[in-house]
Structure formats: C-alpha cells, structure tokens
Amino acid sequence: MLKINRIGIFVVIILSLILSACGRNNTHFQEKSINEENQKISDNYENTENDLIIVTSFYPIYVFTKNIAHDIPGVKVINMTEPQTGCLHDYQLVPADMKTLEKADIFVINGAGMESFLDKVMSQLPDLRIIEASLGIPLLKDDNGEENPHVWVSISGAINEVHNIAEGLAALDSKNSAKYIENSEEYVKRLEALKDKMHDALKDIKTKDIVTFHEAFPYFAQEFGLNIVSVVEREPGSEPSAGELAATIKAINDSRVKVLFAEPQYSTKAAEAIASETGAKVYILDPVVTGPKDAAPDSYEKTMEENLKVLVEALYD
C-alpha cells in the first residue's frame, strides 16, 4: 500500500510539471511577437513584383527549400511561421500568415496532417499552388492508427522530401527547373554522406530500447534500428493522464530501459523526474523542428551531427 501511494503521489507531481510546461507551449503561439515577426515577413514583399515567392510552412521545410532554390535569380524563399514555432499540430493561423500566403506563388508544406490549418488556407486561397513534401512516402502509424507526419526526422525521409520539393518546384517553375534539380542533387549528396556516417557510427550499438517524450522519432528509430518502448507525450503540449505516466514508469522499469530522450524545445523537468524514479538517464535529441531565423544551408546537417554525438554517448554507454 505504501508503494502504491508513493507512485500515485509521484505521478501527480510529474503531471503537474508537464501541465505547467504545456501551458507555456500553448501560449507561445498566441504571443504578440509572432504577429510582429510575420508582419516583418510581409514587409519583405515590397518591390518584389517580378519575383517568384515560395513560402514554406515551418523550419525543416524552409531549410530544405532554401537549399533547392539556392542562388536562383528572382526566386525568394520565405518561412511563414516564426522559426521557433516547432511542430504545427495545433498551430493557429494569425492574420499576418494569410497576408504572407496571399502574396505567395507556391506554398511548400510537409503534409501528412502536420499543417492542421491547411483546409482553411485552401478554402480562402483556392488557387494557391501547394507542394506536399511527404507525398507518396510510406507513413508510419501510431498505436491509434494515425499517420505520423515527422518524416524529415529520418535522414532517408528528409532525402525523399527534398526530391519531392525539387520535382514540385521544377514542374511549377519550368524556367528554373534544371537549377532546382541540380541544387537538390547537390544537397542530397551531402545528406547521403551524413546518412552513411551515422549508420557507420551506430552499426555496433548494443542499447536499442529507448523512451522519447514526443512522437517525432519513429522514422528516426526505424532508420537506426532503435526500439521506442514508450512515448511520454504523444503530441507536444498534450496532457498525459496520471495513468499514462504510471504506465510509462512501469514500462521503463519492466524493460530496464536506460535511455530517455527529451527535446531541446521542451522542459526536461518531467523527464528528469521520471529518470530519477526509473534509473534511466536523460539525453537531449533534436527533431529539427526549430532553428535560427536565417537558417544556414547546412542547418539540418549540423543538428543531425549533434544528434549523432548524443546517440554515440547514450547508446554505447
């Protein structure tokens, strides 16, 4: 009885930590700074009447598209959302977003349900040409049968998305089609080299059972032969019940998982508290959903290089 009460009290504490963190994440999308940032983006359209304006939905798609459209005269790539927004599962469009899209020639999205606001965009801008980066890529499903949109977190998935974006841009902007394909091929060569490097570094890992705090990593886990024993928060900012948290603790203890991956976009307090109860060690793994405003061409690669360092430390320990 004492043990049951102890676990119950512990779960309530963890739940309160997560709920407080969730509140901060949800209000993030309502902050005035987003409106101001998007207004600045809209202002960038001045004197660009002859430019082809490509708008991307969020950070990873922005990085991919910038590489594909690199150094093509008269082509501008602009990210619709603020680069620290993160995943767009519950993102609510603000007026400045629609102003940005009204002036776009092409809208590049991840697709697979990531952009929950897409129906609203299509109803208000029916003539907007849209490229879906995940189109045709086999999608993993969660325990509830819902498709997972986090394709880009796997390097193989990122490569497939780059091909899709390049082919879409080439079809919609035939004048620059050869350059889009050329740029994408150069970018893919870099991604393939990174993929080979990561596979080589992780080929002899002994630790394969892990726990994550977000459903962002199934494609990543599949690529490197990892087994996700449990996911604490199915969606970032969700509210797991006390029962779900208790089940996670039990799953970790039963499977003797020693590695728990949190994300830099969210608080690690809950992860650290669960780790203290289970003996698992917390590491930070980045799903590449946020980054600097002026993303460098190698932004995705640099983040994955950092992830590799973390994996080597965590999985060979």
Q: List the one residue out of 160, 153, 50 whose CA is nearest residue 103.
A: 50
Core vs surface per residue 193-218: b (16+ CB within 10 A) or e? ebbeebeebbeeeeebbbbbbbbbbb
How far apart, in whole angstroms, are the C-alpha atoms of residue 141 and residue 146?
5
How far apart, in whole angstroms, are the C-alpha atoms of residue 287 and residue 157?
13
Q: How far is CA 122 from the centre of its chain?
A: 23
| Window from 11-15, 163-167, 195-199, 212-216 with minimum mean pLDDT | 11-15
> What's the angle, vertex CA 74, arms to CA 188 and CA 60, rounded to 5?
35
Instruction: Determine the pLDDT at residue 317.
Output: 65
Please state the φ and ψ torsions of residue 107, each to the nearest 5 degrees: -115, 120
85 or 239, which is more confident:
85
| 81 touches 97 (CB < 8 A) | yes
Instruction: Determine the pLDDT at residue 234.
Output: 60
Q: Are strands 259-262 and 209-212 parallel, antiparallel or unpaired?
A: parallel
The mean per-residue pLDDT over the stretch 194-208 comes to 95
Instruction: Determine the pLDDT at residue 16.
Output: 47
How far apart, in whole angstroms, are the C-alpha atoms of residue 185 and residue 235?
33
Number of helical (H) and strand (E) elements in the chain, helices listed first: 11, 8
How far apart, in whole angstroms, are the C-alpha atoms of residue 58 and residue 79?
6
pLDDT tens figures, 104-143: 999 999 999 999 999 999 999 999 999 999 999 999 998 7
Q: What is residue 30's DSSP assignment? A: T
CATH of segment(s) 2-29+204-285: 3.40.50.1980
| 256 touches 242 (CB < 8 A) | no
Domain 2-29+204-285 and domain 32-198, same fold? Reply is yes
Kindly state the tokens that stand for 75. Answer: 């082509």
pLDDT tens figures, 1-41: 444 444 454 444 444 444 433 333 433 433 444 445 444 44
How far apart, in whole angstroms, are the C-alpha atoms of residue 307 and residue 278?
23
How far apart, in whole angstroms, are the C-alpha atoms of residue 315 and residue 317?
6
The architecture (CATH level 2) of 32-198 comes to 3-Layer(aba) Sandwich (3.40)
Map out the domains of the chain as residue ranges: 2-29+204-285, 32-198
Q: Are strands 209-212 and 227-231 parallel, antiparallel or unpaired?
A: parallel
